[in-house]
């Protein structure tokens, strides 16, 4: 097959974007987007995304990419009302046709987490929660058992409630905590874990990437762990295949084509690349795989894992 024909065949693969955000800043409160003082953000300056972003904006950015379904990821909404975002996104979907499903905010360490999860379960769109276990600043400083971590008994008490609702867990934590994530996967085998943003391989040095690969191999040993290939941008640098292709290919080699999921992280990743740049990068990174495996990565795995 000629390269142009192969690329066109790739573009015909339907896409389920399993990590995208909507927000309406005049109506709802997101501390990181609404407060005048910016937070520390791994991409650096994020002022360009401090604007409303709704289904019409997303469809414009998608362009000719064949997105057929999306999963809305919680967007650091007002922590005083975590269920408020679920109610709002459910209404957005009713009016705008997107998203297809949602991943809600899951503050697992909260004393009222049972009520929060029950509130999320009130939406037919909810498939799971996202949580940010408390991380160490670097691999050298990582240790087990810290308050707010995946070892914290209070945190685990909340995590144990996910199975009751059939919720999955999007876990966003640096790769140097994959030992704790692996223990979590073993202790709760009925709960699906999705590693967010490929385990945050921000250190692109040879040593850093070697540590990341070892951590991914540890996590991939557990059948109930999948990985989102998203959020791969670097501060003050455009999204490139040269930088991100090796990470994508290594992750797929480690987890297999059945447990990887491509996602845009839009509009956040608009800071580093257009939707076309990112998805054409995904396509180029896996161009040597059979089309059936590519279909899994762009679509089928998402449908299965997020029950779409």
CB crowding 24-56: b at 16 or more within 10 Å, else e: eeeebebeebeeeeeeeeebeebeebeeebebe
Per-residue pLDDT at 57 exceeds 80: yes
C-alpha separations of 81 from 105, 106, 112, 155 in Å:
10, 11, 12, 19
The pTM is what?
0.97
Q: What percentage of the chain exceeds 70 in pLDDT?
A: 99
Question: Any residues with CB less than 8 A from the CB of 27 and at least 6 apart, and which?
Answer: none
Report, as an integer, the average pLDDT of 116-129: 98
Q: Is the peptide bond before 161 cis (omega within 30 degrees of 0)?
A: no
Per-residue pLDDT at 2 exceeds 60: no
**pLDDT of res. 9:** 87
Per-residue pLDDT at 1 exceeds 60: no
Rounded Cα–Cα distance for residues 280 and 203 (Å): 24
Among candidate residues 231, 233, 290, 279, the one with its CA nearest the CA of residue 257: 290
Query: In this predicted model, what pLDDT tens digit does every residue of 231-241 receive, in sequence order?
Result: 999 999 999 99
Query: In this predicted model, what pLDDT tens digit does every residue of 289-305 receive, in sequence order?
Result: 999 999 999 999 999 99
Among candidate residues 218, 146, 208, the one with its CA nearest the CA of residue 181: 218
- Give the total number of structural domains in the chain: 1
**pLDDT of res. 155:** 98
Per-residue pLDDT at 8 exceeds 90: no
Contact assessment for residue 107 and residue 113, using Cβ atoms and an 8 Å cutoff: yes
Report, as an integer, the average pLDDT of 63-81: 97
Q: Is the peptide bond before 259 cis (omega within 30 degrees of 0)?
A: no
Rounded Cα–Cα distance for residues 281 and 48 (Å): 22
Per-residue pLDDT at 275 exceeds 60: yes
**pLDDT of res. 4:** 78
Per-residue pLDDT at 225 exceeds 70: yes
Question: Any residues with CB less than 8 A from the CB of 240 and at least 6 apart, and which?
Answer: 281
Among candidate residues 182, 186, 249, 175, the one with its CA nearest the CA of residue 215: 175
**pLDDT of res. 3:** 76
Q: What percentage of the chain exceeds 90 in pLDDT?
A: 97
CATH number of the CATH domain containing 145:
3.20.20.140
Range of the domain at 262: 3-305
Rounded Cα–Cα distance for residues 28 and 90 (Å): 14
**pLDDT of res. 216:** 98
Query: In this predicted model, what pLDDT tens digit does every residue of 170-220 receive, in sequence order?
Result: 999 999 999 999 999 999 999 999 999 999 999 999 999 999 999 999 999
Residue-by-residue DSSP string for the chain = --HHHHHHHHHTS-EEEEEE--B-TTTS--HHHHSSSPPP-TTS--GGG-S-B-HHHHHHHHTTS-EEEEEEEP----TT-HHHHHHHHHHHHHHH---SEEEEE--TTSTTHHHHHHHHHTSTTEEEEEE-PPPPSSGGG--TT-TTSTT-HHHHHHHTTHHHHT-EEEE---GGGHHHHHHHHHH-TTS-EEEGGGG-----SHHHHHHHHHHHHHHHTSTTEEEEE----BTTB---HHHHHHHHHHHHHHH-TTSEEE---BTGGGGT--HHHHHHHHHHHTTTS-HHHHHIIIIIHHHHHTT-
């Amino acid at each position: 097959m000629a390269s142009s024909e192969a690329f066109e065949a790739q573009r015909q693969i339907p896409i389920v974007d399993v990590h995208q955000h909507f927000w309406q800043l005049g109506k709802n409160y997101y501390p990181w987007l609404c407060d005048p003082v910016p937070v520390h953000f791994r991409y650096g300056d994020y002022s360009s995304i401090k604007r409303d972003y709704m289904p019409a904006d997303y469809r414009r950015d998608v362009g000719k990419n064949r997105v057929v379904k999306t999963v809305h990821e919680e967007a650091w909404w007002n922590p005083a009302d975590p269920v408020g975002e679920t109610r709002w996104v459910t209404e957005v979907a009713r009016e705008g046709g997107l998203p297809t499903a949602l991943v809600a905010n899951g503050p697992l360490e909260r004393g009222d987490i049972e009520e929060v999860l029950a509130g999320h379960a009130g939406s037919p769109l909810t498939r799971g929660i996202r949580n940010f276990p408390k991380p160490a600043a670097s691999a050298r400083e990582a240790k087990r058992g810290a308050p707010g971590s995946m070892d914290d008994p209070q945190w685990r008490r909340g995590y144990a409630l996910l199975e009751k609702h059939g919720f999955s867990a999007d876990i966003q934590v640096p790769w140097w905590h994959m030992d704790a994530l692996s223990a979590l996967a073993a202790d709760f085998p009925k709960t699906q874990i999705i590693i967010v943003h490929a385990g945050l391989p921000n250190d692109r040095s040879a040593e850093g990437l070697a540590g990341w690969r070892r951590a991914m191999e540890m996590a991939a040993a557990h059948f109930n762990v999948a990985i989102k290939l998203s959020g791969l941008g670097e501060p003050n640098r455009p999204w490139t295949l040269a930088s991100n292709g090796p990470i994508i290919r290594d992750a797929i080699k480690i987890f297999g084509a059945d447990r990887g999921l491509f996602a845009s992280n839009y509009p956040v990743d608009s800071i580093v690349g257009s939707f076309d740049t990112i998805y054409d990068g995904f396509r180029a990174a896996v161009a040597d795989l059979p089309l059936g495996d590519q279909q899994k990565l762009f679509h089928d795995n998402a449908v299965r894992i997020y029950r779409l």
